[in-house]
Structure 1
Amino acid sequence: MKKYAIFDLDNTLLDFTRGETEGVTHLLHKYGVTDLQRGLQVYHQVNQRAWQAIEQGAERDPLLNRRFEQTFQRMGLTVTDPIVEQQYRRHLDHNYYTLAGAHALLAHLKKAQVTLIAGTNGIKATQLSRLAGSGLDVYFDQLYISEDVGFAKPDARFFQPIFKQNPSLDSTNTLMIGDGLRSDILGAQQVELPSVWFNPAHLTNETAVKPTYEVDHLATIETLVLA
């Protein structure tokens, strides 16, 4: 049985995709995009590049503050008002959707006295609001957000305060669990922690990053942690 479980939040426990799709679609429609499917595709491309740069150490806010401007520009529209990003973040703040089985998983691990740690690259105000609104906050013993830590996964420095707070945490008693190969799994690899890649969509791993385990259901994670 593991003593510690470090969980990513977005698309591991919280259903980020559902809230993201609702929020982006609303803004695309509001600012005149008629082909919403194409607009979502463009946004995802822009946003993915932004977060890849952030995970590689780039400053977060300038990249995020321009993602809608760049999306609209590629759709042939000129929308430079920074309030668009603020509107989107307000929508995300109230995205309380969770993935099926998230509450049950955390409740069972909590009952087994596993120390539950949340480790996320998300925006602090948004993540705090979503954790509270979803009711997942009651399960976690500790919460680490890149905005507070000063570094984003997969940077090994993201994990330093976790190790400092938990001196006995090591590769024999801990699992890092997340859906992101290039953030969660690579991050765990860089600090020599075993990892669980949550991959419900059965995506093909075309990277050099190799998780210790790969699962497609949250219930399987409980078995791995309590084994």
Structure 2
Amino acid sequence: MKKYVILDLDDTLLDFTRGEIEGVTTLLTEHGVTDTVHGLQVYQTINTAVWQQIEQGAPREPLLNTRFTKAFGALGISVDGVTLERRYHAMLDHNFYVLPGAQDFLDTLQKGQLTLIVGTNGTKTIQLNRLEGSGIAGYFDRLFISQDLGVDKPDPAFFNAIFAAYPDMTTANTIMVGDHLASDIQGALNSHLDSIWYNPHHDTNSEDIQPTYEVDSYAAAEHLLLND
């Protein structure tokens, strides 16, 4: 059985997508966009490309500060991207939505004597506020947030920072759990860790990225983690 479990946050434990939709829809409405469904799709396409660049090592802040400028520009609206980024961050600070079953999942793993560690890409203040507000912060031994580390998953340096904090951590006694192939699972592969791809929506894996395990429920993940 593994000793250490590194867990992603967004859309693995916390419902980031719900908060994203609410926040972006609010900004679109405030700027007179009536077809918010289309506006959201435009934003998400641009945001996905932004995060792909960040995960490949591009500087975080300049890219995040231009994503709203590009998205609204594609809709024919001129905005101050930095100002909207701050507004969006303020809304995400209060996105305390926990995915159904996530807290019971964490409780079961904790009772199973596993050491739970957060390993998340994101902005430090936002992730800390969301963890505290959601009530799940107490399950974790330590938190590792990409902005704080200065490097994002899937860079091996992200995982090296975690290994440095635990002298008895090895690739054999540690596993990564996350929903994102390009950051969570690729990051585990880059660091020679086993991984569990949490895929509750049965997304097709069209990437050349193979997890050790794939599950569609917390129950299936529990079985692997407590009986491996």
- In the superposition, the TM-score normalised over structure 1's length comes to 0.98
Tell me the residue number matched to 1:23: 23
2:12 counterpart of 1:12: yes
Tell me the residue number matched to 1:62: 62
Point out where structure 2 has 5 or more consecutive residues left out of the alignment.
none
Tell me the residue number matched to 2:211: 211
Letter in 1 for 2:147: E
Taking only aligned residues, the RMSD between alpha carbons, in angstroms, comes to 0.9
Tell me the residue number matched to 1:186: 186
Deviation per CA, 1:120-159, whole angstroms, max 9, x where unpaired? 0011000000000001101000110011111100000001
1:1-227 → structure 2 map (5 Å cutoff): 1-80=1-80, 82-227=82-227
Deviation per CA, 1:181-211, whole angstroms, max 9, x where unpaired? 0000000001100000001111111111000
Runs (4 or more) in structure 1 with deviation over 2 Å come to none
* The 10-residue stretch of structure 1 (105-114 or 177-186) with the greater mean CA deviation from structure 2: 105-114
- In 2, Cα distance between equivalents of 1:54 and 1:193: 22
8 Å Cα contact 1:8/1:178 also seen in 2: yes
Q: CA deviation at 1:52?
A: 0.4
Q: CA deviation at 1:172?
A: 2.2
Aligned length: 227
8 Å Cα contact 2:67/2:81 also seen in 1: no
- In 1, Cα distance between equivalents of 2:166 and 2:53: 29
Point out where structure 1 has 5 or more consecutive residues left out of the alignment.
none
The share of aligned pairs that are identical, in percent, is 55
- In 1, Cα distance between equivalents of 2:178 and 2:75: 33
- In 1, Cα distance between equivalents of 2:15 and 2:66: 24
* The 10-residue stretch of structure 1 (169-178 or 147-156) with the greater mean CA deviation from structure 2: 169-178
Letter in 2 for 1:98: V
> Residues 81 and 215 (structure 1 numbering): CA distance in 2 closer, same or farther, change over 3 Å?
closer
SS in 2 for 1:197: strand
Deviation per CA, 1:23-75, whole angstroms, max 9, x where unpaired? 00000000111111110000001100110000000010111111111111000
Q: CA deviation at 1:81?
A: 5.1
